[in-house]
């Protein structure tokens, strides 16, 4: 169990707690210097490739600009108009719905699956490999298969028919469209989360379980008192990634929509931004929408980090 060194390293980053007290200020300073030295390439990359564009986008968001002619400064006009734009508000609502449903559901499923895949049974390596396949399959291929699954004469409706339920229009029906897309996304996102959870599970020393068993703890209480608390760093970590990823959902919606054109029921924030900037020649408007989204994601992430002390247990 404990011999899986490479996977354990994966979670190392989130496992080491930020220590408050260290002996000797001099050593701390030299640690910081070394840390900065090693981080420099990344920091330069971030500044040039991320911070730069983010700030530039803010500048663009204050203009009316079609990318081809001279931008006009319009102040906060784009932001004011966005707040009254039905399509933007719908995109915002859809994205929040997608996030709120897909993140917890996806994490819970991944956790269950990781626990199941952590068993010592014959051929477990093969079973694990099968579950990781979606990770290495192209998004378009996945979407094509799911379109078939959801199609009127597809297998999902065949199953419904077998139970005497009338066939559903999974991606065409406005009320079913988003849940259908969420189901596909969760399936698609599972393996990445399962890998992290599996690594977390394997990093839990077997002695804890042995000791608990000796004390008479059952399967369920061992899971609740040992597995879950020790897995909280992994859950926290995947949660952040899933939260940010969910806000940025684009591909699934884009591919599953009728000719690449999501309607009212499935338009998301990133699609709205893409549409405004690259289809409708409104780069300033798209920039403003990007900034609103950036702020929402930042606030959501900060709030999420605030909850950390309450439920995340570092060893």
Partner 1 sequence: MRTLRASRSPRLAIVAAVAVLVAGCGSTAPSASTAPAPSVAAPSVAAPSTAPASSESAAPGASASVAASAAAECGTYAGPPAKLTYAMWGDTTELANQQKIVDAFTALNPNISVKVTVADWDSYWAKLQTDLAGGNAPDVFLMDGPLYPDYQTRDQLLDLSPLIARDGFDTGQLVDLAVKDFTAPDGHLYGLPRDLNTIALFYNKAMFDAAGLSYPDASWDWAKLVEAATKLTKTSGDKTSQWGFYTETSDMENLWSSLVWQAGGDILSADKKTVVIDTAEAAAGIQFLQDLIYKDKVMAQPVAGGTGDMFENGQAAMEANGSWLVPTHEAAGINFGVAPLPKGPAGQATSVNPSGVVAYKGTKSPDAAWEFIKCYTGPKLQAMVASLKASMPANKQVLADQYATSFDGGKTFADALAYAHLKPSFKGYNEFNSTLQDELDTKVFNDNQMTAKAALDEVAPKLQGLLGQ
Q: Which residues form the interface with partner 1 (CB under 8 A)?
A: 66-69, 87, 140, 143-144, 147, 150-152, 154, 166, 169, 171-174, 177, 255-261, 263-265, 274-275, 278-282
Q: Provide the minimum distance between the beta carbon of 69 and partner 1 in the complex, in angstroms, as a whole number.
A: 5
Least distance CB 244 / partner 1 (angstroms): 23
- How buried is residue 214: exposed, middle or buried, by Cβ count under 10 Å (0-12/13-18/19+)? exposed
Give 36 or 67: the residue with its C-beta nearer to partner 1.
67
Distance between CA atoms of 135 and 129, rounded to whole angstroms?
Answer: 10
8 Å CB contact between 289 and 273:
yes
Under DSSP, the state recorded for 169 is -
10 or 92, CB closer to partner 1?
A: 92
By beta-carbon proximity to partner 1, the closer residue of 270 and 275 is 275
Q: Which residues pair with 236 in a beta bridge?
A: none
Q: How far apart are CA 296 and CA 96, in angstroms?
A: 10
Closer residue to partner 1 in complex, CB, 51/144: 144
Sign of CA dihedral 111, 114, 116, 119: negative
Of 27 and 261, which has the nearer Cβ to partner 1?
A: 261
Closest by CA to 286, choosing from 263, 52, 294, is 294
From the CB of 253, what's the least distance to partner 1, in Å? 11
Q: Which is nearer to partner 1, 114 or 265 (CB)?
A: 265
- In terms of CB distance, is 198 or 273 closer to partner 1? 273
Rounded CA separation 160/150 (Å): 12
Q: Tokens for 19?
A: 């220590």
Distance separating alpha carbons of residues 118 and 201, to the nearest angstrom: 7
Of 279, 107, 269, nearest to 200 by C-alpha is 107
Token pair in block for residue 199? 């690594």
- Residue 277: strand, helix, or coil: helix
Residues 6+ away with beta carbon under 8 Å from 54: 294
The minimum distance between CB 112 and partner 1, in angstroms, equals: 31
Question: Kind of pairing, strands 63-64 and 72-73?
Answer: antiparallel
CB of 100 to partner 1, least distance (A): 23
In the complex, minimum distance from the CB of residue 73 to partner 1, in angstroms, rounded to a whole number: 18
Q: Smallest gap, in angstroms, from Cβ of residue 70 to partner 1?
A: 11
Instruction: Name the minimum Å distance from CB 151 to partner 1.
Output: 4
CB nearer partner 1, residue 23 or residue 259: 259
């Amino acid at each position: 169990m404990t011999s899986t060194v490479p996977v354990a390293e994966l979670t190392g980053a989130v496992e080491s707690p930020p220590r408050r007290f260290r002996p000797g200020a001099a050593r701390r300073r030299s640690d910081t210097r070394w840390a900065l030295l090693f981080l420099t390439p990344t920091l330069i990359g971030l500044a040039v490739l991320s911070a730069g564009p983010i700030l530039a986008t803010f500048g663009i968001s204050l203009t009316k600009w079609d990318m081809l002619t001279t931008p006009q400064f319009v102040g906060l006009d784009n932001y004011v108009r966005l707040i009254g734009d039905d399509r933007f508000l719908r995109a915002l609502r859809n994205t929040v719905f997608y996030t709120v449903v897909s993140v917890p559901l996806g994490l819970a499923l991944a956790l269950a699956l990781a626990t199941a895949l952590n068993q010592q049974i014959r051929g477990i390596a093969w079973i694990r490999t099968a579950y990781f396949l979606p990770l290495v399959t192209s998004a378009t291929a996945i979407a094509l298969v799911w379109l078939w699954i959801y199609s009127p004469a597809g297998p999902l409706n065949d199953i419904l028919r077998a139970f005497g339920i009338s066939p559903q229009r999974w991606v065409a029906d406005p009320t079913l469209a988003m849940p259908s897309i969420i189901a596909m996304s969760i399936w698609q996102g599972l393996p990445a989360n399962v890998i992290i959870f599996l690594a977390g599970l394997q990093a839990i020393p077997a002695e804890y379980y042995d000791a608990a068993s000796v004390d008479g703890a059952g399967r369920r209480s061992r899971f609740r008192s040992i597995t879950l608390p020790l897995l909280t760093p992994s859950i926290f970590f995947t949660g952040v990634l899933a939260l940010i990823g969910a806000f940025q959902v684009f591909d699934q919606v884009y591919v599953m929509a009728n000719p690449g054109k999501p309607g009212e029921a499935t338009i998301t924030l990133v699609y709205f931004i893409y549409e405004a900037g690259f289809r409708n020649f409104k780069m300033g408007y798209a920039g403003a929408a990007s900034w609103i989204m950036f702020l929402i994601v930042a606030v959501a992430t900060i709030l999420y980090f605030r909850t950390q002390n309450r439920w995340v247990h570092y060893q």
